[in-house]
């Protein structure tokens, strides 16, 4: 079977074949690639070869139980895991063990519910990644920008920027060569507040140039794209 790039691979570890089948069917319909393991040993063998994008892990399994397997897996990977438990009481035990699952469902569960949970975990992870990405420090030949400390240095000396100047520079520099229109900058830096004069952007660009460019009249980093907007060049 050809695996499409955007299809995420899910490993379903479940010793009840009929339940595995139904769960797999719903996940396939939701656009996931599905793989099965029917006991803990088989799951471990699969996971040793390749870590999938997601694991649905039943707790009560022959050979190796789901809790031990999850602990073992957590030592190796951050792959998202949803645990499947047969009894509500187990849930307390699981969370007490803090073995690193991202969520759990209690049997009997609706397959649709499981699909929603999988999606929710993936969304959450996507957000976390985007957040980490949005905090990324940037470093170019002569300019460095650190969003955590909000310190900007040009040729190794610290430049004093206002909050909006910083936000605008960071936004532009995070997407080198990408042109931002005045409206986009107003939206992203000033949150689209209606009372802001569109000329504000021009003023901020001018001040930024005075602070970061060697020759503000011949900018090398903060460039005007005539009739469109502005862009950053490293």
> What are the residues binding Ca ion (CB under 5 A)?
15, 58, 60
Q: Which is nearer to Ca ion, 58 or 165 (CB)?
A: 58
Provide the 3-class DSSP secondary structure of residue 211.
helix
Minimum CB separation from Ca ion for residue 84, in Å?
A: 8
Residue 188: closest CA among 203, 176, 170 = 170
Rounded distance between C-alpha atoms, residue 194 and residue 136, angstroms: 29
Instruction: Find the shortest distance in angstroms from Cβ 7 to Ca ion.
Output: 26
58 or 90: CB nearest Ca ion? 58
Q: How far is the CB of 15 from Ca ion (least distance, A)?
A: 4
d(CA 207, CA 227): 20
Closer residue to Ca ion in complex, CB, 57/205? 57
Helix or strand holding residue 148 (H, E): none
When the beta carbons of 10 and 212 are compared against Ca ion, the nearer one is 10
Residue 39, CA atoms < 13 Å, CB-side half-sphere: 5
The residues, ordered by sequence, that sit 6+ positions from 117 with a Cβ below 8 Å of its Cβ are 82, 103, 105
Shortest CB 60 distance to Ca ion, Å: 4
CB-based contact 83:70 (threshold 8 Å):
yes
DSSP one-letter code for 8: P
Q: How far is the CB of 61 from Ca ion (least distance, A)?
A: 6
Element (H, E) at 55: strand 54-58
Residue whose Cβ sits closest to Ca ion: 60
Least distance from Ca ion to the Cβ atom of residue 110, Å: 18
- Written as six digits, the tokens of 73 are 């897996």
Helix axes 199-212, 182-190, angle to 10 degrees: 80
Nearer to Ca ion, 106 or 151 (CB): 106
Q: By C-beta, is 91 or 125 nearer to Ca ion? A: 91
Q: Which two tokens stand for residue 199?
A: 């000329």
């Amino acid at each position: 079977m050809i695996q499409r790039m955007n299809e995420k691979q899910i490993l379903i570890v479940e010793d009840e074949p009929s339940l595995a089948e139904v769960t797999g069917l719903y996940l396939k319909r939701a656009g996931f690639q599905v793989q099965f393991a029917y006991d803990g040993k088989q799951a471990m063998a699969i996971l040793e070869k390749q870590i999938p994008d997601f694991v649905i892990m039943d707790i009560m399994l022959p050979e190796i139980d789901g809790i031990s397997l999850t602990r073992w897996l957590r030592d190796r990977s951050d792959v998202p895991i949803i645990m499947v438990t047969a009894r509500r009481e187990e849930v307390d035990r699981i969370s007490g063990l803090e073995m690193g699952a991202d969520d759990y469902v209690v049997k009997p569960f609706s397959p649709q519910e499981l699909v929603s949970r999988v999606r929710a975990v993936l969304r959450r992870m996507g957000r976390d990644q985007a957040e980490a990405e949005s905090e990324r420090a940037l470093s170019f030949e002569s300019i460095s920008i650190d969003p955590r400390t909000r310190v900007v240095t040009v040729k190794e000396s610290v430049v004093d920027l206002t909050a909006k100047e910083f936000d605008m520079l960071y936004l532009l520099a995070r997407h080198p060569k990408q042109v931002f229109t005045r409206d986009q900058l107003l939206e992203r830096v000033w949150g689209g507040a209606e009372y802001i004069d569109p000329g504000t952007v021009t003023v901020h660009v001018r001040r930024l140039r005075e602070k970061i460019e060697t020759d503000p009249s011949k900018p090398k980093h903060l460039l005007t794209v005539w009739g469109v907007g502005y862009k950053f060049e490293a």
